[in-house]
Amino acid sequence: MPELIRDPSLDSTLDVLREGYPFLYNRSQRFDSDIFQIQLMGMKAICLHGAEAAELFYNPKLFIRKGAIPRRVQTTLMGIDAIQTRDNGEHRCRKEMFMSLMEPASRQRLMSLLAEQWQRYAHRWEQMDRVVLFREAQEILCRAACAWAGVPLEEKEVRLRARDFGNMVDGFGGVGPRHWHGKQARSRGEKWMRSIIRAIRKGTLPVQEGTAAHTVAWYRDAEGELLDVQMAAIELMNAIRPIVAISTYITFAALALHEYPPYRQLLRDPAEDYAELFVQEVRRYFPFTPFVGALVREDFTWHGFEFPKGTMVLLDVYGTLRDERWWQDPEVFWPERFRQWQGSPYDFIPQGGGEYLTGHRCAGEWITIEAMKQAVLFLNDGIRYDVPAQDLSYDLTRMPTLPASGFVMTEVRATGKGALNLLPTPAAGSNVAVAAGCPFHKG
Q: Helices (H), strands (E): how many in the chain?
A: 15, 10
Kindly report, residue by residue over 140-191, the tens digit of the pLDDT: 999 999 999 999 999 999 999 999 999 999 987 777 899 899 999 999 999 9
205 in a domain, yes or no? yes
Q: Report the pLDDT value the prediction gives residue 348, as an integer from 0 to 100.
A: 95
Neighbouring C-alpha atoms within 13 Å toward the C-beta of 385: 28
Q: Report the pLDDT value the prediction gives residue 422, as an integer from 0 to 100.
A: 61
Q: Report the pLDDT value the prediction gives residue 73, as an integer from 0 to 100.
A: 78
Q: Taking 60 as the threshold, does the pLDDT of residue 431 lie above it?
A: no
Q: What is the mean pLDDT of residues 297-324?
A: 97
433 in a domain, yes or no? no
436 in a domain, yes or no? no
Kindly report, residue by residue over 72-109, the tens digit of the pLDDT: 777 888 777 766 766 566 667 778 888 899 999 999 99
Domain range for 67 = 13-422
Q: For residue 364, which of 145, 91, 93 has the smallest C-alpha distance? A: 145
Kindly report, residue by residue over 382-426, the tens digit of the pLDDT: 999 999 999 999 999 999 999 999 999 999 999 987 555 665 555
CATH of the domain at 59: 1.10.630.10
What's the structural domain count of the chain?
A: 1
46 in a domain, yes or no? yes
Instruction: Give the count of beta carbons closer than 10 Å to the beta carbon of residue 378.
Output: 25
Q: Report the pLDDT value the prediction gives residue 98, as an integer from 0 to 100.
A: 86
Contact 376, 279 (CB under 8 A): yes
434 in a domain, yes or no? no
| Averaged pLDDT of the chain | 90
pTM of the model: 0.92
85 in a domain, yes or no? yes
- Cα(116)–Cα(122) distance, rounded to whole angstroms? 10
Q: Report the pLDDT value the prediction gives residue 436, as an integer from 0 to 100.
A: 32
33 in a domain, yes or no? yes
Q: Report the pLDDT value the prediction gives residue 88, as an integer from 0 to 100.
A: 60
250 in a domain, yes or no? yes
